[in-house]
Structure 1
Amino acid sequence: MGSLYDYMRVPMDPSSEHAQRRYGAIKKFFDWALKEELVPRKRELRVLDLCAGTGIAGAALCETLHEWGIKGSLTLVDKRGEDLSLVKNWLSREEEVTGIVGDCLTELPKLRDFDVALLWGHSMAHFNPFQAAKLFRSVAEVLNPGGIFLIEETNNFERLFYRGRYRSPYVEVKSDEWALLSLDEGYSRKRDTITIGFYRIPNWELVERTELRFWDLAGIAGMLSMAFEKVGIVSKAEHGIVGVDDVVYALLPHRA
């Protein structure tokens, strides 16, 4: 996904005003989550940020924990090492941070003993149902008994299909000289994924071709219930934080 994120990384780029606003919104959500005791309030929390990008969500949680007098340590997993190196730009103080460059599906079995796991920023699209099942089982294994898994996602079934907002081709981002356009190039019935080609126009230069799965919230929650005892959804209306989407949470991980 390297080439594609060169075009679509603004929402998590620390130098972007848009990303700075997003960071502030995520902090407000975690402050709300701590007040509601959705996030455990202990003297120290180990945080795992998956598909972390620049670490915007994990850093926002650690900064919020500090404001609550809670010591936080942060482990980040992402395929892009250059993005992981930017996490320090979100942090106002020295924190215990570990960056792991790799695929979370292969890296998770090597990890243990976390209190909070995050999958933030609509990253579920990168996982087909079989990969998601493996991901959720692995997260349940790395969390402590009282740990929580938080996934920020949107209800794509409602947004794209029920409300008819699915478009192909679709302009994802543009400048004065070019635009990045996405084009539906096929569907896999066995994986329930859509192959999307991303092209830079006007020259129709292929930037990347990838398979995406457009998840609904109930589908995520239902699959999580096979790996966790308690699962729920916090809607945007419930938490009331502009700039943060719906959040699926999972508590009390099952042990194999």
Structure 2
Amino acid sequence: MLKMLRPYLSQFVKNSKIFWALEKKYFFRNPKILGRHACLGAEVLGRLQGGANSVNFQKNRVDHVNRFKSRNLKLIKEEDLREIIVREPIKYCVRRQSKDFHEMREFDFLIIDSFSELADQAFLFDGNVFYSCYSDITEKARANSKLESLGLLSVDRIEDEYRTFFTNVSRQSPKGKIIYLHFPMIKEKREHFLLRAKNIKLALEMLENEFENLYVYSLDNNEADSLNSNDDDNFSYHYDSPVYEEFVRLIVKDFTELKRIA
């Protein structure tokens, strides 16, 4: 019985106020790494020094982070969340949207990837907001009239929302470095996502010139394609190991302290 309950107890502990207080104070150190990333950031971070001690805010879209304190957020209720989201790891990400990103203490590195602004939608359920992919939502919830999609972050707002986010993050940790990773689009066939990725890349090109602490990494399609030759994963945003290792090589070239010690 205990074995069956362990995953649920683990999630309960992780979502408690005590865990949040401890996480803010102790859970990332030497170097202190803060995350706002999906699977690309996770795979890269797992190959860097200090990755195991990082704290991540996956699915916290930058416009949500930017407005966390400035509006009366009515976040999704726990009893609704259990019925709406398909998988437990995604439920954990959605629960994390109730925490203030800027409450985290100073960091050495912030690892952020492009997925949330690329693919996470804002939803209302019974008037309460949450952010996820459409594929994260159960069939039952999709058929519920209480569910309303507010859509992806508007392309017209992407640059300004990132600018606000990077400005606030730089105030939060003046000496911290921001490492931004673009998802390779080599497996994506849907035109609207390809266009969004292009617009995100253009926005980051502008912002990299404005923020001295912002370091942007991407792979061109030919390079990513050649590195991904043995990939057998059907998901458009998962890649073969050499793709992640190339991102690591580029990052460690700029930040030798992140080179993993064997």
Normalized per residue, which structure has more strand?
A: 1
Normalized per residue, which structure has more helix?
A: 2
* TM norm structure 2: 0.31
* TM norm structure 1: 0.31
